[in-house]
Each structure stands twice: as structure tokens, then as C-alpha cells.
Amino acid sequence: MTTNRGRKTLLLALSAAAVAGAALTGGAPVAVAATGGAGAGLVWGDCAPALRPLPGQQCAMLSVPLDYARPDGEQIQLAVSRLASARPEARRGTLMVIPGGPGSSGVQRLAQKGAALAKEMDGAYDLVAFDPRGIGGSAKARCGLDEGDRWMMTLRSWPGADGGIEENVARSKRIAEACARNGGAMLRGLTTANQVRDMDRLRQALGERKLSAWSVSYGTYVAASYAEKYPHRTDRWVLDSSNDPDPKRVARGWLEGMARGAEDRFPDFAAWAAHPDRADEGLRLAERPEDVRAVVLDLAARLDREPHASVLPGAPGAPVTAGPPLTGSMLLQALQLALYSDGFFPSFAQLVTEARDPQGEPVLPRELAGAMPDDAAAITVGVICNDVNWPASVPAYERAVAKDRARNPLTAGMPANITPCSFWKGGAAEKPVRITDRGPSNILMIQNLRDPSTPYSNGLRMRAALGERARLVSVDHGGHGVYLGNGNACGDAAVTRYLTQGVRPSEDVLCR
């Protein structure tokens, strides 16, 4: 870890998320085997086998108000899960695992990351997570959307091949109207503010005076909002891959930031795809990194003119099933997904290689090969539309898309395009929280320098908003998600040291 004495000022001077990508891969429903009530503790039992729980992982249900303005009114159930400390004598509290999204399952996140996290914590915490209202094993939200409006390629507003947004406008109106017609109080309650309140109800049910937290992506906004509302109920607080918390924009700014993030991150893929080692793998796209960009963009333009037949992913040896035609927009969406992790580079290079061959059979990424469940689609649009008001001028979006397509061809205008939020009924549910520097100095931020979803420049805006409450560990790496995610020993050690020992860098640092 390299100390950032002179660099701290530089990092802050650089300040001027799907929506966040995890928002579009919401967890499958999770049944749990026990129930409990808020304020009276939780009754823990075995988790459903479909969750593929870790050894020792337990599940429960928590009751919370559907509407906090009527706390004694209708209650809904939230799915909760924990991994209790294996060393009670070393336990110092509860660490909340807060997933991204909006729309990701905390229960599944704990099942996926719990073993690695428990090893790092060495018994210091019970590890706890919950499914936010609307998704997973918690009370479901619904919009009643047609299947065609629940594909990632339709929920994300990719302009037409000519840059036109007429189809996006019509679909956005249709989605907003369906959500207004079918969503009811459950959909209206899908807000960051309510997730914060639910999280504090869970704290009470656990019997904890304070919580520690590891939050990722959209979860960092939840965590920062919690720290703003309940500053003295936070112990050791980690924000992993933060975005701009500007209360006037919130998710609007996160979506627009994906254009910057793709530009920041693409050189990593280009260097990989031009490396001589790729030739032996049949995945070398160009001899020089600077030529890879043209390969991808030229192919996208060709696919927009003449879509290529595709096949759906399936089990090895299973019959091939035809998929929807592969368009240029689909290729660029696949690229955006691939930029999340170096481990996804080979599959995207394979997609490009197959699509360039007139006789090839490109296999679509799973995220693009089917419709999302209605509850996942509902929470994806519900939270971002309920959190903040969005502009409604169609001509303004047309101008923004044209400008963005020229400036950022890797995302082709999608981050600046219209969404269902422009036609949302009722407006923002509550005024967005403003993140400030008021409160205990107990926040550790960690951020990749080249993040496709929560770009570094946006993370610096969160850093500036928190002021002396936070320290920032910047990691010279690409991808989305840092801690226990990209193998950077320096970054991992900084987070583990803080959570287990309370030792936080005295100033911002850079991990090379």
C-alpha cells in the first residue's frame, strides 16, 4: 500500500452506477424455514436447499411495516440470513452484508461470499444479510409487465440503430403505466429510504446497539444513507465501489456514469484481447490494443445493419436452441457486462469471434438470453423511479442521446436515454437524502480506478461528500467490486484490517 500524501488533494480535485449492472440480475426466490418478529428477536432455522446455503448458514423472517407512515398497519416479511461467528469468544458484533442492485438478494450474496468473508473475519462477527423488500425471499413487488418488456435489452434503453428513441419512449410509457396499474402500495414502498429503515429494524431484532457493514455498488448508497440517518448506530463501515450521491440526480447520474466507466475500463480488455497468448486460444481480436476498439465498434455497426443469428446457452451436449438475432446494441450490452471482471473477457471475445464469422453461432450471455422475473424488473425500475424525479422532455433526451453516442460510442447513447421514470406516476416518494461529512469518522471506502459501472470519478464525489468521515483506498485495477473480488492483496488487507482490528489508514492511499 502506497501512502497518498500529496495524492489525497489530487484525488479530491478530480471530483467534479442497473442502472447499476447488478440491478438486472436479481436473485431467484428463496424460501426460508422460520419466522420471527421485529423487536422480539429472530427465530432461526434451516435455509431452503434451493439457496445452496453454506454449512451453518441459517434463515429467518423479519416483519416490517409496509408503510412506515403507518407503523402499526400492514406488515410484510423480509428474508434474513446469517452465518454465526465460529469463535464466540472473538465475536465483537454483527457485520451486515449489503448487496448491489437495486434488486440483488442479500441472502444469496451471503451464500456466495460468506465463506471467504468468514475466513477473513476469523470469528469477529456474525455475518448477516437480508433480501430487500420486493425481491428474493421477501415480500414480492410486481408490475405485471409483458415478457418482451422484461428483457435486459428492453429495460435498458438502447437507442435504435439510427439513434432514434421512439421505441424507447413507447416502451417506457408502457412500463410506467403497467407499474402504476398493478404495483400498488408494495411498489410505491420500494425506496432506498425504506431499505434503510428496514435495515434498522433488523438491527433492533438482532439486539445490536450498532452494526458494522460491507456494502457494494448500489449498496454503498444504502449504507451511506443509513450512516446519514443513524450515524451513531454505525460501527465499522465499508463502502466498496461507490457512486455519486448527488441528491438531485441519484440513479440518473449513476446511469449516465456508465458511459464514462466503459471508456475507463475498455483499455484493459483491449490489452488482453491483443495479447499474443490469445492467438493460441483463438480469441485474439487484433495485433495491437489500439485496434481492438475498431473491431468491436465496426462489428456492432454491422450487426445493427444485419443482425446475426444466435443460440441460447445450454448444458453441454444439449440440443442447440435458436436465440433472438444478435444486434449491435446486444453486442455492446454484452461488452458492458464483460467489463465487470477480467474473468468475463474470454466469453466476450468468443462472442465477437463467432459473430464476425458469417457461419458462426454466437452464444448469448445468459443475462441477454431471457426475460427477467416480474419482481426483479419491478424492483429495478421501482427504486430508481421512486427515489428521485426524472426529466420528462422527450426532445431533451433525443439531444442527450445524440451527444452521448458521438462522445461515448461504446455505450451508444444508452446511459443518456429515456427510462420509465420519465412517465412515473406520483413522482419521487421522498426527498433524497443528502450525504454529508457530519457524523463519526468510521467509514472506509475502496474503489477500483477503472470501474465500468461505478466509475472512479463518481466514487470521488462520494468521497468528497463524506469529507473527514471517510478514508479512500484506491486500487489500480479494473472491474466492478473490489474486496474479495479481484485478488488485490493490498486492497483486501486494508478492508480486513479495518473490520477486524479497527485500523484505518490515516489518509487516502493507493494500492498499485
> Could you report the per-residue pLDDT of 456-473, keeping only the tens digit for each?
999 999 999 999 999 999
For residue 90, how far is the Cα from the chain centroid?
A: 32
**Do residues 454 and 22 touch, judged by C-beta distance below 8 A?**
no
Exposure b/e, 197-209, CB count within 10 A at least 16 = b: bbbbbbbebbebe
Nearest one of 243, 199, 179 to 23, comparing CA atoms: 243
**Do residues 74 and 64 touch, judged by C-beta distance below 8 A?**
no
Beta strand pairing status for 234-240 and 443-450? parallel
Nearest one of 18, 28, 471 to 218, comparing CA atoms: 18
What Å distances lie between residue 244 and 16, 99, 427, 431, CA to CA? 10, 17, 21, 16
Q: How far apart are CA 346 and CA 366, in angstroms?
A: 15
Exposure b/e, 338-371, CB count within 10 A at least 16 = b: bbbebebbeebbbbbbbbbeeebebbbbebbbbb
356 Cβ contact list (under 8 Å, min separation 6)? 299
* CB atoms near residue 185 (< 10 Å): 12
Q: What pLDDT sits at residue 74?
A: 97
Nearest one of 55, 130, 111 to 86, comparing CA atoms: 55
**Beta bridge pairs of residue 474:** 447, 510
Domains, the chain? 2-140+187-251+432-511 (3.40.50.1820)
For residue 454, how far is the Cα from the chain centroid?
A: 9
Nearest one of 59, 156, 157, 72 to 107, comparing CA atoms: 59
How far apart are the two ends of the chain, measured CA to CA in Å? 7
Q: What pLDDT sits at residue 218?
A: 98
Q: What pLDDT sits at residue 322?
A: 92
Residue by residue, pLDDT tens for the chain (512 residues) are 444 433 222 222 222 223 333 332 222 223 333 333 333 479 999 999 998 999 999 999 999 999 999 999 999 999 999 999 999 999 999 999 999 999 899 999 999 999 999 999 999 999 999 999 999 999 999 999 999 999 999 999 999 999 999 999 999 999 999 999 999 999 999 999 999 999 999 999 999 999 999 999 999 999 999 999 999 999 999 999 999 999 999 999 999 999 999 999 999 999 999 999 999 999 999 999 999 999 999 999 999 999 999 999 987 777 789 999 999 999 999 999 999 999 999 999 999 999 999 999 999 999 999 999 999 999 999 999 999 999 999 999 999 999 999 999 999 999 999 999 999 998 888 999 999 999 999 999 999 999 999 999 999 999 999 999 999 999 999 999 999 999 999 999 999 999 999 999 999 999 99
Determine if residue 439 is left, alpha or beta; phi over 0 gives left, psi from -120 to 50 gives alpha, anything else beta.
left
For 69, the grid coordinates are 407512515
Length of the chain: 512
* CB atoms near residue 418 (< 10 Å): 25
Q: What pLDDT sits at residue 12?
A: 25
